[in-house]
């Protein structure tokens, strides 16, 4: 619990809520992931070795900063080790899309063009296998 | 504050707590610290997830992975595999009993699919000992809205329009209750939260207090504003130490933030809350008995009127609401009466929390919209009857309730329909019985509870229930008579008609409803001396099969009461009138010649030609 | 006014009236059991526990207990239909099923409200047989608790807590094992019980009864070596007749004296005599303290409190141990009688005190305990050997086959049988202080009272105050009856707020006429009023109405004691008080 001087008005309470919302925003979002942008960063050995950690942090930080409601999660190796770091983006109501060779610069482009406007950007890896329904 | 990428929610409700969930939490913490992940992973101890059958529960966000039966030793694997490598730990996932497949996340679990969590909205999501998490989830906004933007009467009208009714048992309209208390003038009034949860097996109020104490505190303050009270009291049983601790922490934090105390939100409204401990008497859930107990008097009810709203705690107007009722209040104010009244049936709005127990696969705590059918609860949420046995009945409403049978499976559940079916909503106990349960024994079980919990003030409850119990005991012992069946009926009706409080007025319900729905079983016990489920010990018969008996005398020698006769190499015979059903003969027999039957006539005829 | 219909009769009653009382107004009698009322004293017990008085209210789901359900506009009530009668009978059978069936040998047989109901309902079988609840039998010096017979009506609890504020009895245990008992089911003797006996006087069954000393007395009477004298308290003569079917308020002094003589008592004396003696001692003490106070002596404590009532003495020993120097040191009339009988009188007739048996007939149960107190004996021989109640005397007379109603009027023996009207009024609340005023006034002012009746001191209000003019000196007097009322006055004394010079306290509502040993009034407060009137009429019939004019008293002082307050008077007629711990001592052995 953070120290507070006391809540004197309803506005105080709302300000306080803004302040502490981040604590649980992930949980709020998890309740209804289908309505949010889902970003899954492949964080297996191959991914991490190619800089996936940096990419994941970039997404988490920037999506929040740019006011986009998104869930950033890590996932295991997607099998595209040649194209690491790989990121799977699911826009609400759309099929998942996998991007390869993602670095912070690429990530920035993905946010601005694909996530914000739905425009396709280079680097999409066609899904070439089916997986059992999870 | 840094942005955590992952949240691990560890259930710290009483159920999981008693299966070492605190150790799971510690081990997860250690692992996270060791792997230097404290910046990325947040580990939270939350209230109950409801799925107590499979606790301890660890839920991983944002992917909603739902780990069950987690042991402290699983902590390392969860961190190494799931958190670091992003691979779910398959073996800890919930196994669907139907498909026998692992279910990846809680969204796909039948247990949660049909639930609608309003009262339990924050249970299992927030850290109940951190007010900030509650505030992040809108806590105290309803209070702020009510006292700065609405008049007490407007707030009461809103609650009235929502159709919310008391969740403690009787289902009295909450808004109306507040209105009555608000109209009685006095220099001091009290808001009392009834947290004296006493139905056997029920723990919804405890879960709310453990998992989301601020929702109750906030609602009490709103009630205080509406009725003109500045003092709130929570009457909680001392056997709920965890709930008591969380409440104490929550009250202290709310006071520090100025959300309880003097001049809340800068208005002239002041409100504070203190705790009163009960010793765990069932009858103290009755509001007048509860008030007596809070005053330090013997916990026994008084005649109504006067109602507590007129003369309650220390003789002052007092509004008593149950925990679950209160937990609904803030959401109703924030989302509106119309939102709430759109949920449920015509006369029963919103949701109800049930404690699902008995012969059912998914034992736990569920919150469902009113109007859901028993079938949905038992077969979809509850995952069906254990071991694929046949459903027999479900007991609702605790000791005051009754049994619902197969013919009620598709009845929409609400206050009226349960009462019409001879049971009641009660505080939300729901015990599922299967073909192995003896209905006379079930009635006897509840009467045993009532006899222990009757306060003794009025004669019909004090003596009548004892006599009911004794009669049921006779019937289960095979000593029942036709007259006993008549007595059960008359006595039950008179106890209902003449008892002083709700406890006595409803105590014969388990007898009456089993008499109505399972009269055949009573008749079998009385006339055939048979208990079809084999539950009644004294209606089981040890019988020697003459085909298998070699006449070795072993059973004759071991019988402690000389109930077995027979010469060497001749078939032995058990005299049923002497047998004390100790089972020693069956254990001794090396030829499996002795069996246990639950049918006296057959047992007798088997022996006739022996 | 509220209109309602009871058994097809329409009636209008005040709001707040219960169905039971409304029904009585239209002549419909509803049976009750736990309900109990002394309406003139504001005493009412209605826990709604027995459920015998249930009635059907049309439109109501269940039956309503008529003793606590208030009437509402338009109510339609059936008090005797099949549903109601079946419920009442079933409930009564349940109560009986947990009650011993030993009516033949029960002390309350014939005077038991449960027995009456069983007879009225025509109960012939108890089909709900089963386990009965059993408890330890508890015998104290005054009261026997046989709570196997307790029906949880809670009347005794109400009396002990609300009226008397003693707090010795309350409901303990739960459910089927619930019973009214001292805390932790300790012995009554170890509790703060004062033995006032009000619990016994309201108990509907034989659960609470007095310790019966009749057999001890029969043994003494049949012992040729013993001389047996008897004293009778003032309130006995105003109530004893009720036990023989006489109208309440019939004074039976003469017949009582004859009966005692027929029973074989060697000397039939009167406690009224020692009441006069009490006035001499207590009145003198009052005047001494009053004069000291007026002279500005800071060591003098006022008010002075009367000390004739042993229940009251027990009460302040338990509850006000720091005020033990406030009450008068004068012994009660019973004990003064015993002390004089076993000294002056024993010497007079030449009998060793060990061969003299003093019996007292009292309206009181605390007197049984009082006469057993250590300080009231000499070398282990008590000043008063046995104390029996009005009820025990009545039973004794019946047992002896005495035709009480046709007995001649007898006279008390001399010298301990002569009394003034002041001694008689000890039986009523306010009587002791009135008697004291009659004497103190004349002693203080040297003038003769024009009118001996101090009307301002009479009445039935629980706490009364009056100012008596002592020839220019306004004497402030407080009176309380019922220990709850006494507590209020004592709290004032403890806090230094008391305005009174003198306070009279009686433990029982109404004073001794409402004592725990009197014939059962069954909640009829009219009976108490008639007894009180009888006491005052007895006073009026007396030629001597002031204690100091009683010739036998004058003679006693002249021959034996000297002056009131003399050294001899002090050693024989005064006592001291002992703090009683309220610490819980539990002795579970029976």
pTM reported for the whole predicted model: 0.88
pLDDT band at C185 (very low <50, low <70, confident <90, very high): very high
Contact B4/A at CB under 8 A: yes
Classify residue B328: in a domain, yes or no: yes
User: B390 lies in which domain range?
Assistant: 351-434
Q: Write down the pLDDT at residue B609.
A: 41
Shared domain check, B272 and B138: yes
What does the alpha-carbon distance between residue A81 and residue A45 come to, in Å, rounded to a whole number? 9
Shared domain check, A36 and A90: yes
Shared domain check, B303 and B178: yes
Classify residue B86: in a domain, yes or no: yes
Question: What residues does CATH 3.30.70.20 cover in chain C?
Answer: 103-124+134-211
Contact B265, B140 (CB under 8 A): no
The answer to whether B490 contacts C97, with C-beta atoms less than 8 Å apart, is no
Classify residue A4: in a domain, yes or no: yes
What the block records as the tokens of C394 is 């009545």
Shared domain check, A61 and A77: yes
What does the alpha-carbon distance between residue B249 and residue B245 come to, in Å, rounded to a whole number? 6
The answer to whether C176 contacts B463, with C-beta atoms less than 8 Å apart, is yes
Q: What angle do CA B367, B163, B206 make, to 5 degrees?
A: 35
The answer to whether A7 contacts B136, with C-beta atoms less than 8 Å apart, is no
Q: Write down the pLDDT at residue B82.
A: 86
Nearest CA-CA distance, residue A13 and chain B, Å = 7
Kindly tell me if the per-residue pLDDT of B371 is higher than 70. Answer: yes
Classify residue B255: in a domain, yes or no: yes
A30 closest CB neighbour out of B64, B130, B265: B64
Contact B337/C at CB under 8 A: no
Which of C113, C210, C281, C370 is catalytic? The answer is C370
What's the gap between Cα C45 and its chain centre? Answer: 18
Nearest CA-CA distance, residue A126 and chain B, Å = 22
Provide the percentage of residues in chain B whose pLDDT is more than 70: 98
Q: Write down the pLDDT at residue C583.
A: 60
- Structural element, H or E, at residue C437: helix C431-445
Classify residue B248: in a domain, yes or no: yes
C176 closest CB neighbour out of B281, B451, B458: B451
B466 closest CB neighbour out of C48, C173, C176: C176
Contact B606, B573 (CB under 8 A): no
Classify residue B118: in a domain, yes or no: no
C131 is catalytic: no
Classify residue A69: in a domain, yes or no: yes
Chain A residue set in contact with B, beta carbons under 8 Å: 1-2, 4, 6-10, 13-14, 16-17, 20-31, 33, 42-44, 56, 60-61, 64, 71-76, 134
Mean pLDDT of C449-478: 92
Shared domain check, B561 and B423: no
Shared domain check, A9 and A57: no
Residue of C nearest to B491 (CA): C90
What does the alpha-carbon distance between residue B564 and residue B573 come to, in Å, rounded to a whole number? 5
- Residues of C with Cβ-Cβ distance to B453 under 8 angstroms: 174-175
B132 closest CB neighbour out of A20, A30, A43: A20
Question: What residues does CATH 3.40.50.1780 cover in chain C?
Answer: 215-573
C377 is catalytic: no
Shared domain check, B371 and B251: no
3-state secondary structure of B379: helix
Classify residue A133: in a domain, yes or no: no
| C17, C61, C84, C130: best to mutate for the B interface, most B CBs within 10 A | C130
Strand duo B41-46 + B6-11: pairing: parallel
Classify residue B124: in a domain, yes or no: no
Residue count (chain A): 134
Kindly tell me if the per-residue pLDDT of B607 is higher than 70. Answer: no
C317 is catalytic: no
The answer to whether C128 contacts B298, with C-beta atoms less than 8 Å apart, is no
Contact B277/A at CB under 8 A: no
Nearest CA-CA distance, residue C421 and chain B, Å = 47
**Residue A123 or B389, more confident:** B389
C67 is catalytic: no
Contact C48/B at CB under 8 A: yes
Q: Identify the domain boundary among B504, B528, B552.
A: B528
Q: Write down the pLDDT at residue C590.
A: 42
CATH topology of domain C2-97: Ubiquitin-like (UB roll) (3.10.20)
Shared domain check, A36 and A24: no
Q: Which residues are B274's β-sheet partners?
A: B233
3-state secondary structure of C88: helix
What does the alpha-carbon distance between residue C87 and residue C50 come to, in Å, rounded to a whole number? 12
Shared domain check, A46 and A27: no
The strand order across the sheet containing C208-210 reads C138-139, C143-145, C208-210
Nearest residue to A103 via CA among A58, A60, A69, A55? A55
Nearest residue to C87 via CA among A120, B455, B460, A73? B460
- Residues of A with Cβ-Cβ distance to B135 under 8 angstroms: 13, 16-17, 20
How many Cα atoms within 13 Å fall on the side-chain side of residue C236? 28
Nearest residue to C468 via CA among C443, C441, C444, C428? C441
Classify residue B122: in a domain, yes or no: no
Contact C115, C103 (CB under 8 A): yes
Shared domain check, A39 and A17: no
Number of domains within chain B: 5
Shared domain check, B236 and B180: yes
pLDDT in tens, B69-82: 999 999 999 998 88
Mean pLDDT of B174-200: 94
What does the alpha-carbon distance between residue B31 and residue B19 come to, in Å, rounded to a whole number? 20
Q: Write down the pLDDT at residue C223.
A: 96
Q: Which CATH architecture has domain C103-124+134-211?
A: 2-Layer Sandwich (3.30)
C512 is catalytic: yes
The answer to whether C178 contacts B452, with C-beta atoms less than 8 Å apart, is no
Q: Identify the domain boundary among B473, B506, B528.
A: B528
Shared domain check, A71 and A103: yes
Contact B48, B11 (CB under 8 A): yes
Nearest residue to C314 via CA among C516, C459, C463? C516
pLDDT band at C582 (very low <50, low <70, confident <90, very high): low
Q: Write down the pLDDT at residue A128.
A: 52
User: A104 lies in which domain range?
Assistant: 32-125
What does the alpha-carbon distance between residue B136 and residue A13 come to, in Å, rounded to a whole number? 10
pLDDT in tens, B42-91: 899 988 888 888 889 999 887 788 999 999 999 999 998 888 877 788 88
Between residues 93 and 122 of chain C, which touch chain B (CB distance below 8 Å)?
94-95, 97-98
Which of C201, C258, C328, C387 is catalytic? The answer is C328
C375 is catalytic: yes
Q: Write down the pLDDT at residue C33.
A: 96
- Under the phi-then-psi rule, with left for phi > 0, alpha for psi from -120 to 50, and beta for the rest, what region is B2? beta
Shared domain check, B328 and B465: no
All residues at 6 or more sequence positions from A127 whose CB lies less than 8 Å from its CB, including other chains: A98
The answer to whether B258 contacts A6, with C-beta atoms less than 8 Å apart, is yes
pLDDT band at A62 (very low <50, low <70, confident <90, very high): confident
Shared domain check, A116 and A82: yes
Kindly tell me if the per-residue pLDDT of A111 is higher than 80. Answer: yes
Q: How many CB pairs under 8 A join B and C?
A: 108
What the block records as the tokens of B448 is 């045993």
Local structure of residue C71 (DSSP, 8 states): P
Kindly tell me if the per-residue pLDDT of A117 is higher than 50. Answer: yes
Kindly tell me if the per-residue pLDDT of B608 is higher than 60. Answer: no
The answer to whether A1 contacts B253, with C-beta atoms less than 8 Å apart, is yes
Strand duo B318-322 + B351-358: pairing: unpaired
DSSP string, B300-345: ----SSSPTTTS-GGGS-EEEEEHHHHHHHHHHHHH-HHHHHTSB-
Shared domain check, B577 and B519: no
DSSP string, B507-560: TTHHHHHHHHH-HHHHHIIIII---TTS--GGG-EEEE-TTT----SHHHHH-T
Mean pLDDT of C483-489: 96
Mean predicted lDDT score pLDDT of chain A = 77
Between residues 70 and 109 of chain B, which touch chain A (CB distance below 8 Å)?
84-87, 104
Mean pLDDT of B362-384: 92
Shared domain check, B11 and B140: no
- Residues of B with Cβ-Cβ distance to C151 under 8 angstroms: 459
What the block records as the tokens of C30 is 């509803």
C368 is catalytic: no
Shared domain check, B299 and B232: yes
Q: Which residues are B194's β-sheet partners?
A: B235, B322
Q: How far is CA B457 from CA B286, B289, B541, in A?
A: 14, 11, 42
Shared domain check, A90 and A36: yes
Kindly tell me if the per-residue pLDDT of B610 is higher than 50. Answer: no
Number of domains within chain A: 2
3-state secondary structure of C324: coil
Kindly tell me if the per-residue pLDDT of B337 is higher than 60. Answer: yes
Provide the percentage of residues in chain B whose pLDDT is more than 90: 69
Task: Name, of A102-116, B7-21, C65-79, the range with top average pLDDT.
Answer: C65-79
A22 closest CB neighbour out of B1, B6, B84: B1
Shared domain check, A119 and A76: yes
The answer to whether A8 contacts B4, with C-beta atoms less than 8 Å apart, is no
C583 is catalytic: no
Shared domain check, A2 and A57: no
Q: How far is CA C375 from CA C280, C305, C313, C580, in A?
A: 21, 20, 14, 15
Shared domain check, A57 and A121: yes
Classify residue B399: in a domain, yes or no: yes
Kindly tell me if the per-residue pLDDT of B2 is higher than 50. Answer: no
pLDDT band at C589 (very low <50, low <70, confident <90, very high): very low
Q: How many CB pairs under 8 A join A and B?
A: 110
DSSP string, B150-168: --HHHHHHHHHHHT-B-SS
Looking up tokens 């202080």 gives: C433
B120-129, C384-393, C398-407, C415-424: segment of lowest average pLDDT: B120-129
CATH topology of domain C215-573: Rossmann fold (3.40.50)
Contact B297, B289 (CB under 8 A): no
């Amino acid at each position: 619990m953070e120290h507070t001087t006391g809540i004197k008005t309803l506005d105080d309470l709302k300000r306080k809520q803004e302040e502490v919302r981040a604590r649980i925003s992930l949980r709020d979002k998890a309740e209804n992931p289908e309505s949010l942008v889902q970003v899954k960063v492949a964080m297996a050995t191959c991914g991490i070795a190619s800089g996936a950690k940096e990419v994941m942090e970039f997404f988490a930080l920037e999506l929040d900063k740019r006011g986009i409601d998104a869930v950033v999660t890590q996932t295991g190796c997607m099998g595209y080790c040649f194209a690491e770091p790989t990121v799977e983006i699911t826009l609400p109501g759309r099929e998942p899309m996998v991007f390869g060779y993602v670095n912070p610069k690429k990530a920035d482009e993905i946010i601005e063009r694909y996530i914000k406007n739905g425009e396709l950007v280079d680097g999409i890896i066609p899904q070439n296998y089916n997986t059992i329904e999870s | 504050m840094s942005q955590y990428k992952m949240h691990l929610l560890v259930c710290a409700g009483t159920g999981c707590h008693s299966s070492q969930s605190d150790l799971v939490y510690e081990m997860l913490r250690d692992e996270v610290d060791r792997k230097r992940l404290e910046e990325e992973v947040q580990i939270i101890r939350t209230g109950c997830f409801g799925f107590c059958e499979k606790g301890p529960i660890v839920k991983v966000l944002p992917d909603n992975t739902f780990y069950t039966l987690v042991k402290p030793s699983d902590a390392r694997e969860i961190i190494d595999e799931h958190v670091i490598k992003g691979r779910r730990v398959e073996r800890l996932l919930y196994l669907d009993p139907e498909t026998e497949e692992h279910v990846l996340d809680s969204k796909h679990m039948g247990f949660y699919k049909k639930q609608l969590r309003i009262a339990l909205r924050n249970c299992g999501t927030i850290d109940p000992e951190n007010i900030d998490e509650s505030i992040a989830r809108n806590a105290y906004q309803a209070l702020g809205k009510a006292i700065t933007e609405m008049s007490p009467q407007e707030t009461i009208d809103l609650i009235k329009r929502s159709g919310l009714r008391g969740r403690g048992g009787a289902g009295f309209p909450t808004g109306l209750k507040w209105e009555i208390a608000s109209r009685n003038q006095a220099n001091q009034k009290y808001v009392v939260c009834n947290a004296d949860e006493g139905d056997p097996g029920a723990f919804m109020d405890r879960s709310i207090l453990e998992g989301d104490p601020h929702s109750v505190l906030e609602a009490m303050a709103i009630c205080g504003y509406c009725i003109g009270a500045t003092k709130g009291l929570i009457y909680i049983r001392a056997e709920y130490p965890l709930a008591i601790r969380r409440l104490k922490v929550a009250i202290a934090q709310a006071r520090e933030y100025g959300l309880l105390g003097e001049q809340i939100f800068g208005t002239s409204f002041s409100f504070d809350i203190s705790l009163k401990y009960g010793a765990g008497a069932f009858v103290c859930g009755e509001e007048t008995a509860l008030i007596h107990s809070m005053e330090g008097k013997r916990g026994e009810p008084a005649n109504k009127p006067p109602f507590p709203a007129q003369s309650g705690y220390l003789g002052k107007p007092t509004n008593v609401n149950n925990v679950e009722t209160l937990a609904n209040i803030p959401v109703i104010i924030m989302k509106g009466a119309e939102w709430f009244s759109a949920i449920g049936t015509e006369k029963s709005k919103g949701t109800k929390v049930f404690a699902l127990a008995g012969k059912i696969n998914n034992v736990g705590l569920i919150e469902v919209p009113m109007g859901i059918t028993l079938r949905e609860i038992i077969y979809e949420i509850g995952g069906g009857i254990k071991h694929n046995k046949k459903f027999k009945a479900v007991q609702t409403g605790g000791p005051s309730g009754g049994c619902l049978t197969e013919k009620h499976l598709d009845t929409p559940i609400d206050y009226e329909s349960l009462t019409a079916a001879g049971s009641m909503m009660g505080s939300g106990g729901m015990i599922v019985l299967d073909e192995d349960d003896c209905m006379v024994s079930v009635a006897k079980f509840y009467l045993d509870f009532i006899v222990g919990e009757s306060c003794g003030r009025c004669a019909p409850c004090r003596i009548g229930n004892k006599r009911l119990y004794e009669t049921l005991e006779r019937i289960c012992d095979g000593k029942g008579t036709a007259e006993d069946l008549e007595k059960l009926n008359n006595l039950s009706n008179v106890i209902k008609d003449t008892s002083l409080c709700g406890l006595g007025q409803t105590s014969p319900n388990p007898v009456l409803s089993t008499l109505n729905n399972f009269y055949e079983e009573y008749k079998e016990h009385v006339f055939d001396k048979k208990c079809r489920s084999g539950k009644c010990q004294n209606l089981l018969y040890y019988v020697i099969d003459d085909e298998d008996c070699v006449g070795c005398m072993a059973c004759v020698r071991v019988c402690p009461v000389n109930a077995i006769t027979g010469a060497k190499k001749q078939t032995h015979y058990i005299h049923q009138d002497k047998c004390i059903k100790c089972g020693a003969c069956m254990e001794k027999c090396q030829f499996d010649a002795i069996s246990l039957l639950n049918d006296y006539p057959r047992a007798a005829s088997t022996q006739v030609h022996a | 006014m509220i209109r309602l219909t009871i058994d097809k009769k329409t009636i209008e009653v005040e709001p707040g009236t219960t169905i039971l009382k409304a029904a009585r107004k239209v002549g419909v009698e509803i049976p009750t059991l736990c309900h109990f009322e002394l309406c003139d004293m504001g005493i009412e017990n209605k826990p709604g526990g027995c459920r015998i008085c249930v009635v059907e209210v049309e439109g109501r789901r269940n039956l309503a207990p008529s003793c606590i359900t208030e009437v509402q506009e338009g109510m339609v009530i059936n008090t005797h239909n099949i549903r109601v009668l079946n419920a009442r009978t079933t409930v009564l059978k349940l109560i009986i099923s947990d009650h011993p069936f030993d009516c033949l040998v029960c002390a309350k047989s014939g005077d038991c409200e449960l027995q009456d109901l069983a007879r009225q309902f025509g109960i012939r079988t108890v089909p709900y047989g089963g386990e009965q609840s059993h408890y330890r039998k508890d015998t104290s010096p005054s009261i026997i608790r046989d709570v196997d017979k307790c029906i949880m009506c809670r009347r005794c609890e109400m009396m002990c807590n609300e009226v008397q504020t003693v707090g010795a009895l309350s409901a303990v245990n739960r459910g089927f094992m619930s019973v009214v008992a001292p805390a932790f089911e300790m012995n009554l003797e170890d509790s703060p019980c004062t033995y006032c006996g009000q619990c016994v006087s309201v108990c509907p069954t034989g659960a609470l009864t007095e310790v019966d000393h009749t057999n001890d007395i029969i043994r003494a009477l049949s012992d040729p070596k013993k001389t047996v004298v008897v004293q009778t308290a003032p309130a006995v003569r105003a109530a004893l007749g009720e036990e023989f079917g006489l109208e309440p308020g019939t004074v039976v002094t003469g017949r009582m004296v004859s009966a005692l003589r027929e029973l074989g008592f060697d000397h039939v004396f009167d406690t009224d005599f020692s009441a006069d003696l009490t006035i001499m001692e207590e009145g003198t003490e009052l005047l001494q303290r009053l004069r000291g106070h007026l002279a500005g002596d800071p060591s003098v404590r006022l008010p002075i409190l009367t000390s004739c009532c042993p229940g009251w003495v027990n009460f302040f020993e338990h509850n006000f141990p720091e005020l033990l120097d406030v009450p008068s040191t004068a012994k009660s009339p019973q004990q003064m009688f015993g002390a004089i009988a076993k000294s002056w009188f024993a010497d007079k007739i030449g009998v060793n005190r060990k061969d003299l048996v003093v019996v007292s007939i009292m309206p009181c149960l605390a007197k049984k305990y009082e006469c057993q107190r250590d300080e009231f004996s000499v070398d282990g021989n008590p000043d008063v050997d046995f104390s029996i109640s009005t009820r025990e005397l009545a039973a004794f007379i019946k047992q002896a086959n005495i035709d009480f109603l046709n007995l001649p009027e007898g006279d008390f023996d001399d010298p301990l049988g002569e009394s003034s009207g002041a001694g008689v009024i000890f039986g009523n609340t306010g009587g002791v202080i009135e008697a004291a005023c009659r004497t103190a006034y004349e002693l203080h002012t040297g003038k003769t009272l024009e009118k001996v009746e101090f009307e301002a001191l009479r009445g039935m209000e629980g706490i009364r105050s009056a100012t008596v003019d002592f020839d220019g000196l306004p004497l402030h007097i407080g009176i309380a009856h019922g220990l709850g009322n006494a507590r209020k006055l004592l709290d004032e004394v403890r806090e230094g707020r008391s305005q009174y010079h003198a306070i009279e306290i009686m433990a029982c509502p109404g004073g001794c006429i409402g004592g725990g040993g009197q014939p059962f009034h069954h909640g009829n407060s009219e009976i108490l009023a008639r007894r009180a009137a009888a006491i005052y009429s007895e006073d009026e019939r007396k030629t001597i109405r002031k204690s100091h004019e009683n010739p036998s008293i004058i003679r006693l002082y002249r021959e034996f004691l000297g002056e009131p307050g003399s050294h001899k008077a002090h050693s024989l007629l005064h006592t001291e008080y002992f703090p009683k711990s309220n610490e819980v001592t539990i002795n579970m052995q029976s």
